[in-house]
Amino acid sequence: MKPHTLSILVENKAGVLSRVTGLFSRRGFNIESLAVGPCEEPGMSRITIVVIGDDAKVEQIMKQLNKLIDIIKVSDLTENERVERELALIKVTAEQGTSRAEIMQIATIFRASIVDVSPKSLVLQVTGETDKINALEKILRQYGVKEFVRTGMIGILRGSKMISGGK
Amino acid sequence: MKTGAKILVESLLREGTEIIFGYPGGVVLPIYDELYDSPLRHLLVRHEQAAAHAADGYARASGRVGVCLATSGPGACNLVTGIATSYMDSTPVVAITGQVPTNLLGNDAFQESDITGITLPITKHNYLVKSAGDIGRVVQEAFYIASTGRPGPVLIDIPKDVSTGMAEDVKLPEKVTLRGYNPTYKGHKRQIEKALELLSHAERPLIYAGGGIISSNASPELIEFATLATIPVTTTLMGIGCIPCHHPLNLGMLGMHGTEYANFAVTECDLMFAIGARFDDRVTGRIDTFAPHAKIIHIDIDPAEIGKNKRIDVPIVGDVKAVLKDILTLMKKQDAHDIWLKKIKHWKQHHPLKCPSTGGLHPQFVIRTLSDLVKEKAVIVSEVGQNQMWTAQHFCFHNPRTWITSGGLGTMGFGFPAGIGVHFARPDVPTFVIAGDGSIQMNIQEMGTVAASKIPVKIAILNNMYLGMVRQWQELFFDRRYSFTELPAVDFVKIGNAYGIEGIRVETPEDVLPAFQASLDCDGPFVMDFRIEREENVFPMVPAGAAINEMIGGHPR
Ligand SMILES: Cc1ncc(C[n+]2csc(CCOP(=O)(O)OP(=O)(O)O)c2C)c(N)n1
Ligand SMILES: [Mg+2]
């Protein structure tokens, strides 16, 4: 069992997301992370899904995904050199004083930016791989994480190789 | 400008639809109004489930797309079992449902149900049509998707305002192209060569032939391949008919209620050609002991079937017919597998299917009598349970598409309505429905349909006053505790009579043949109530979880 990052190019049509996610839930798979948005082609979207599962099961799901009419291409990025990123917004309790200064220091170390300031809280924006975001959230917990919102992971292959193309 | 309903009916005709099976209701009124004076035939069923099964039966018997129509909400939901049945057996059906008007979608409007959501996992694809101008394209795509690649059901949901809405005729392309749907028809040449290489070294090859052979019309190629290379053939429940029953290389059905010799051959073969089959658990028994000595070549149009249940040595993705043609072209002269065939002949002699002949009325005898009477001049449709297995085992099928049964889903209530659809696909031969007393009561209201429209379906009920297949399991594995499997006696002849259908009750072996003859002499539908031995079992049988050569109820080895 290991995490697989699947990149799925789909026609941007009503219901396409439930067609995709239905194939996972039907097999008892839990989706770890999901990100959807338009992509380089007009009328198309790219869905990035992270699931944990054994290779054979994930391969079967990929084959089933390929059978869906609205799905153009499915790739497992896991075996390739790739860049993976996620963006998170973290609202931390930050009263005036030392804790506020500490949080700002931590933000610098993680190259997070402060995107909102209020008398009692700060909002940090951070991008990176899943581990980095988890690490930042963990450190901030001692100050009180009020809310933690993340986009879900997206990935792209390194070099000139592309994930899209004909099926 | 035309209404969406008119475009729908014209589109169906354009796709070559001869008949649709349906049931009206509020939101399909505009469509029904269009059907009123249309050349498109419509058969009114008595329950929407029957419409779906009839469309499916039509599709299976003809190879063309079957079409059913229902209203929104309850009508659409009643199609679900039928759609799931088509999906599991990969049959080309287009189901059309009415939907509440678009402005009410999602409002829990009267008779609204999210039928595209409900059928998501049991359709090959589905559509919610948003404007009348899309109907032509959607119908064209739906027929294309349903009937190409691995066939399957497609549902089209049409809101009422879309069928009343006006649109111009749109020019449709000659050929549908869908970027996300490109089935592979031609098998990879190198893979085919690899398969033939394995064949040239094989001493005990076996073909395991599934329903894919029937749906790709590959029977002639299969028989030619088997004959030229002298490879025995065992068929799945869905594959029955792809090779004539009396063909010397045919081993009959394999699996849970397969013949002993077919299952022995699976266990001993050293090379298996799995063709248009999917290693279902009812076929394989304990999967790790299935074909334990064989290298496996799997030919299937659906790449997702390759390696799904069993590790495959040589996968060949492609249309079974096209691949078999290529195999025939590339194959060199093969040595006959004499020793292997001799062994199989020995098994066949010493382990034939049993057909009890003493005592009362035995279902096996009923089936054999019908088989001898009609020979290849009938289409046989079964319900589900013991009746289905006895027919699969004892009827001698000569041709593809003459055996119609719900395999993957095992849907009780499928047979009778499917038989109605079969009649419209094959009006040239009689259609016999072999039913159980339980199954027939799941769609018995269709007696109204066949009576009203004089549809000459012959219904043979193997009446054991039990949910026999379940009772058999209770007898064998639950200490004869017959929990809720006994059905009180029903006089099916009287029920038929009440609908205006003739019928006969049969209680002795002597009366079996005359009853079948009477059914053939009758122009219309006919009911036969065969009072069979109540506790007859289907044997041989592979108990759940056993290897397929570990059968009970066979001959001593
Ligand atoms: C819709 C449905 N419900 C339940 C079952 C489970 N089941 C399989 S066979 C069977 C008994 C069928 O009884 P009958 O039609 O009398 O046939 P017999 O086995 O007696 O020939 C049942 C209940 C099923 N296959 N389909
Ligand atoms: Mg029964």
> Would you give per-residue pLDDT tens digits along chain B (557 residues)?
999 999 999 999 999 999 999 999 999 999 999 999 999 999 999 999 999 999 999 999 999 999 999 999 999 999 999 999 999 999 999 999 999 999 999 999 999 999 999 999 999 999 999 999 999 999 999 999 999 999 999 999 999 999 999 999 889 999 999 999 999 999 999 999 999 999 999 999 999 999 999 999 999 999 999 999 999 999 999 999 999 999 999 999 999 999 999 999 999 999 999 999 999 999 999 999 999 999 999 999 999 999 999 999 999 999 999 999 999 999 999 999 999 999 999 999 999 999 998 889 999 999 999 999 999 999 999 999 999 999 999 999 999 999 999 999 999 999 999 999 999 999 999 999 999 999 999 999 999 999 999 999 999 999 999 999 999 999 999 999 999 999 999 999 999 999 999 999 999 999 999 999 999 999 999 999 999 999 999 999 999 999 999 999 999 98
Beta bridge partners of B503: B527
Q: Which CATH superfamily is domain A2-80 in?
A: ACT domain (3.30.70.260)
pLDDT of residue A166: 40
Domain A83-154 = CATH 3.30.70.1150: yes
The 8 Å CB, 24+ separation contacts for B284-288 are B284/B255, B284/B309, B284/B310, B284/B548, B285/B255, B285/B256, B285/B542, B285/B545, B285/B546, B285/B547, B285/B548, B285/B550, B286/B545, B286/B546, B286/B547, B286/B548
Please judge whether B121 and A22 are an interchain contact, meaning their C-beta atoms are less than 8 angstroms apart. Answer: yes
Q: How far apart are CA B169 and CA B3, in angstroms?
A: 10
Four-way CATH pick for B2-167: 3.40.50.300, 3.60.21.10, 1.10.10.10, 3.40.50.970: 3.40.50.970
Looking at all shown ligands, the one closest to residue B469's CA atom is 1
| In chain A, domain spans | 2-80, 83-154
Global pTM exceeds 0.90: yes
Contact B83, B116 (CB under 8 A): no
pLDDT of residue A167: 39
Q: How far apart are CA A97 and CA B399, in angstroms?
A: 87
Per CATH, the number for B189-350 is 3.40.50.1220
pLDDT of residue B258: 98
CA nearest ligand 1 atom 20, residue: B468
Cα–Cα distance list, B499 to B96, B127, B244, B437, B452 (Å):
29, 38, 37, 17, 8
Q: What is the dihedral of CA B356, B360, B366, B372, to 10 degrees?
A: 70
Please judge whether B303 and A66 are an interchain contact, meaning their C-beta atoms are less than 8 angstroms apart. Answer: yes
CB-based contact, B125 to chain A, within 8 Å: yes
Compare all CA atoms of chain B with the CA of A67 and give the residue at the minimum distance: B181
| In chain B, domain spans | 2-167, 189-350, 363-531
Reading the block at residue B223, the tokens are: 């028989």
Q: Is B246 exposed, middle or buried (0-12, 13-18, 19+ CB in 10 A)?
A: exposed
Q: How far apart are CA A36 and CA A7, in angstroms?
A: 10
Q: With a 6 A CB cut-off, is B3 part of the ligand 1 pocket?
A: no
Please judge whether B180 and A63 are an interchain contact, meaning their C-beta atoms are less than 8 angstroms apart. Answer: no
Q: Could you tell me which of B537, B550, B553, B262 has the C-alpha nearest to residue B390?
A: B537
Name residue B256's amino acid.
Answer: M
Which of B117, B145, B180 is the closest to A71 by Cβ? B180
Q: Could you tell me which of B417, B422, B463, B444 has the C-alpha nearest to residue B501?
A: B444
Contact B347, B213 (CB under 8 A): no
CA B436–ligand 2 middle distance (angstroms): 4
Query: How many CB atoms within 10 Å of residue A79?
Result: 10
Which of B128, B178, B308 is the closest to A69 by Cβ? B178
Please judge whether B304 and A14 are an interchain contact, meaning their C-beta atoms are less than 8 angstroms apart. Answer: no
ipTM of the complex model:
0.91
Compare all CA atoms of chain A with the CA of B152 and give the residue at the minimum distance: A67
Beta bridge partners of B66: B93
User: What topology does CATH give the domain B363-531?
Assistant: Rossmann fold (3.40.50)
3-state secondary structure of B211: helix
Name residue A167's amino acid.
Answer: K
CB-based contact, B388 to chain A, within 8 Å: no
